[in-house]
Amino acid sequence: MKPTPHTRTVHANCRAYLCSICEGGLFLCSVCGLAEASLTTDCPGTRVPSQRVGEILHGRLDYAGGAWFDLDPAGKAAARERLAKVRAGIVVRLRVA
């Protein structure tokens, strides 16, 4: 599956004083709502619920190749292997609660 890049939010004619996006350079995806440290490998294409954002920030969850990946500390090597398979076109889905 082809990776879907995140889409940078751009304010047209922004006049806000010290806007974090325009003046601060904050990267905010206009599609999924993720920003900076919470960005996943690929954009999921829909808004990400706050519970998932917390899991992403804690390094327990990632989205790549059209699937969510559980990146628990004990299984990071397995998660990297699954991601490599997804990138290679071998579809591997993982159940995420």
Q: Is the pTM of this model over 0.85?
A: no
User: What is the per-residue DSSP string for 40-60?
Assistant: -SS--SSPPPHHHHHHHHTTS
The CA distance from 96 to 79, in Å, is 13
What local confidence, expressed as pLDDT, does residue 60 receive? 85
97 pLDDT band, cuts 50/70/90, is very low
**Do the Cβ atoms of 42 and 52 come closer than 8 Å?**
no
What local confidence, expressed as pLDDT, does residue 53 receive? 93
Half-sphere exposure (Cβ direction) of 16: Cα atoms closer than 13 Å: 11
Domain boundaries, the chain: 1-97
76 pLDDT band, cuts 50/70/90, is low
